[in-house]
Amino acid sequence: MSEPRPFWNPLVAGVALGLVLLASFLVTGHGLGASGLFTRLTAGLAALVAPLEAAANSYLGGLVKAGALGGWITWEVLGLVLGALAGSLFGRRFRIGIERGSGVAPGNRLAWAFAGGALVGFGSRLARGCTSGLGLSGGATLAVAAFVFLIAFFAAGFATMALVRRSWQ
């Protein structure tokens, strides 16, 4: 495998992300987000397992009627995955592995990643949006909730980093 290409300049990447967000607002009428897809997939799975109960559920019922593929967010996340794959291949950075510090066993890293992902997923449903939905799209519309979320998100990240930092060195 040849040498990986350098990462983009962060300012250029930020401007590109802003333009993608603007295009998303203009073309779809929605900002960016991802966590809604998992709620749609949960509704679809619930409809397969217990269709009457899922349709009657006040939280999932509307999504059961729309279907997992009925929302714009499904196609956005599919594009996100394909774009990330294309970017990693184009940048010669695609590889399969587990990023971890020398003091962390692969199984522990995966367990902590799963636990962290589950907590963030649960929190994103409580907040009614994920980092991209609340932070990017909400911040772009100057929503106060977005800035409160971002402050809490970064504070929690710094606190967690202080706790696990030594295992990554």
Percent of the chain with pLDDT over 90: 25
The DSSP result for 113-159, as a single string, is HHHHHHHHHHHHHHTTS-IIIIIIIIHHTT-HHHHHHHHHHHHHHHH
Q: At what angle do helices 106-126 and 35-49 cross, to 10 degrees?
A: 90
Of the listed ranges 46-50, 59-63, 105-109, the least confidently predicted one is 59-63
- Tell me the two tokens of residue 3: 């040498």
Q: Residue 1: what pLDDT?
A: 58
pLDDT tens per residue, range 9-40: 999 999 999 999 999 899 888 888 888 888 88
* 53-61 average pLDDT score: 88
* 48-62 average pLDDT score: 88
Give the span between the Cα atoms of 58 and 72, in whole angstroms: 21
Whole-prediction pTM value? 0.72
Percent of the chain with pLDDT over 70: 96
Q: Mention every residue, 6+ apart, whose C-beta is less than 8 A from residue 84.
A: none
Q: What is the mean pLDDT of the chain?
A: 86
